[in-house]
Structure 1
Amino acid sequence: MDHYIDLKLLPDPEFAATQLMSALVSKLHRGLHDLRRDDVGISFPDVETARHHLGSRLRLHGNREALSQLLALNWLTGMRDHVQLSELAAVPAQVRYRQVSRVQVDSNPERLRRRLIKRHGISEQEARERIPDSAAKRCNLPFVNLRSNGTGQAFALFIRHGAIVETAKAGTFNGYGLSSTATIPWF
């Protein structure tokens, strides 16, 4: 993780920044999937000032080779008019580190009921009694709205920026550039 690229969303009168960020993360996911690499991480440098959303900047972290391969894929097709892409740059010398991870929340009572019916063969009424609408969990983390390539279902990808630490932790990143073990440079 010695290099990075910043992608800054440009203001657009037709699309909200949150909508553009969701589209950008979706395209990145496809690019990372096609590359089949687990050494590219992401962060959102403006997350703390953005108030309940991820801000207007997406930062890609990795080594020079991994980031160059990602850029060569041309995964930004359709987004180029909406983002300003920085040059590939070396991470500054004095940085701290942070884990950026996915948080999964079972927030949809209807989906939980369908799962209960399918797994336990109970009636819809019994499932509704076991899982009332009030069982929905709330999550105050920022998120992007995505659609599953496999099922076509829409879902919220909640993203947590962990505590800032002094030392890096090695690990791998998932197809969204998130990790429950590895850290990215934070600057």
Structure 2
Amino acid sequence: MKAICVFAGSNSGVHPHYRNVAVELGAYMAQHDYKLIYGGSKMGLMGEVANEMLKHGGHVVGIMPKGLFSGEIVHTALTELIEVSSMHERKATMHDLSDGYIALPGGFGTFEELFEALCWAQIGIHKKPVGLLNVNGYYNALMSMVEHAVTEGFSQESAIQLINISSSPQSLISSMMNFTSPSTRYTKWNNTSS
């Protein structure tokens, strides 16, 4: 795992600890030579991780749809900025460039990106590790929801095994490095197949 896609809020949240852990994640990733792949904004927790990576000499790749340049303020000091035409292309590019995924606290956009990565892992499109950085217990309710889906018969027990979770960037990345996908249905997704 050399390139990590980070999903995070475009806001910083109400608790300073959210920002502090985003900064800690960025510093840790830079110091251990991980490449950051993310949405390209300089706002919120996204911007905090990118700024800290850059501060420590890390490699940061942002992917931003041209139509969002006015709404999301693009980070202009990145190692590389990839301009794409749509949100779908943004997510596809992030997935293609990444070896694993970490979700910091965030809102609908973060949830949507996280669940797409988990869904693709569940159906065997990829075997990349997915991690939740559970700052201030932010993802406790989400984990309860996933467990409820298993209990009610809408998900398999292996769905829980797809999720690495920790409140510490170091321990989260360590568990992701040792992750083995429970999915036995992995096939390389090929757009040319019928």
TM range (shorter): under 0.3
> TM-score, normalised on structure 1?
0.22
Bigger relative contact order, structure 1 or 2 (CA pairs below 8 A, ≥6 apart): 1
Query: Which structure features the higher share of helix residues?
Result: 2
Q: Greater CA radius of gyration, 1 or 2?
A: 1
